[in-house]
Amino acid sequence: MSAVIDLLEIEKKAYRDSQQDGLMEVIMGLILMIFGGFFYSPIFAFYILLILFSKKIVESIRRRYTHPRIGFVKFHEENRKDALTGVFLLEFAVIIIIFTLISIFGDVKDFSQWVKWSPLFFGMILVGPFAHAASRSGSIRYTGYAILSVVLGLFFSLIEFGSGCTGLILYLVFIGAFLFLGGLVIFSLFLRKYPLPAEGAPDASE
């Protein structure tokens, strides 16, 4: 019986269910929108604070809205060394791809070319967290986000915006808004799917 139990699938389901509130999308969208929207603004420092406290913000919202509805689960810590190696390899691969693209379509010494291709650079960097979430959850939702982030990155890199970082700013605001609004919709559906019982969440102590 147990021999045919797929522990990986059980772990994926537990992870998928723990992320079904859409709050990851909300906070990620917010970070990207602020990064893009306040690119040239002094309020940009606020962005650093948001990144630093994003985990705590999500945890505090989950304590209030998610855990009383579907419960709380703590997963085993991931190997930090493996995670850092993955991030490093992804960034290295992305730089190589962008370098190759600029070599084909322009001059690698021209800084404006790097700015022009920056939406695709960010789009491919975003594949990292989405692919990680997709492999842990087995959810096609994250695969969709990964594809969308690259396709939009390519789209905003190919359009001519004149000067500056307009393409990158528009890309970040657009993908950020998509994730933020999508996350809010998922969150509201989650609240509707799991209404809070009047007598409170069931517990073994009752």
Query: How many Å apart are CA 66 and CA 60, to the nearest integer?
Result: 10
* Least CB distance to other proteins at residue 13 (A): 7
For residue 18, which phi and psi values (nearest 5 degrees)? Answer: -70, -20
Q: Work out which of 131, 177, 191, 201 binds other proteins, going by CB under 8 A.
A: 201
User: In Å, how far from its chain's centre is CA 198?
Assistant: 34
Residue in the block written with tokens 């996350």:
183
Number of residues forming the site for other proteins (CB under 8 A): 29
Is 29 within 8 Å of 177 (Cβ atoms)? Answer: yes
Q: What three-state secondary structure class fits 194?
A: coil
Chain CA centroid to CA 122, Å: 12
Considering only the stretches 7-15, 92-100, 102-110, 149-157, report the one whose residues sit in contact with other proteins under the rule CB under 8 A.
7-15
Per CB under 8 A, the list member of 67, 132, 136, 141 interacting with other proteins is 67
Task: Please list every residue from 74 through 103 that binds other proteins, using CB under 8 A.
Answer: 74-77
Q: Does 52 bind other proteins (CB under 8 A)?
A: no
Distance CA(108)–CA(116), nearest Å, equals: 12
- Give yes or no for residue 203 binding other proteins (CB under 8 A): yes
CB closer to other proteins, 49 vs 204: 204
User: Is 62 an interacting residue with respect to other proteins (CB under 8 A)?
Assistant: no
CB atoms closer than 10 angstroms to residue 180: 19
Token pair of 18 as six digits: 């723990």
Nearest to 145, CA basis, from 32, 36, 49: 32
Part in contact with other proteins (CB under 8 A); list of ranges 14-22, 113-121, 162-170, 179-187: 14-22
Rule CB under 8 A: is residue 72 a binding residue for other proteins? yes
Q: Quick one: which of 143, 127, 139 has its CA closest to 18?
A: 139
Q: Taking CB under 8 A as the rule, does residue 5 contact other proteins?
A: yes
- Of 50, 57, 61, 70, the one binding other proteins by CB under 8 A: 70
Residues in the chain: 206
Q: Determine which residue in the list 45, 53, 55, 71 makes contact with other proteins, applying CB under 8 A.
A: 71
Residues at the contact surface with other proteins, assessed by CB under 8 A: 1-5, 7, 10-11, 13-14, 17-18, 67-68, 70-77, 200-206
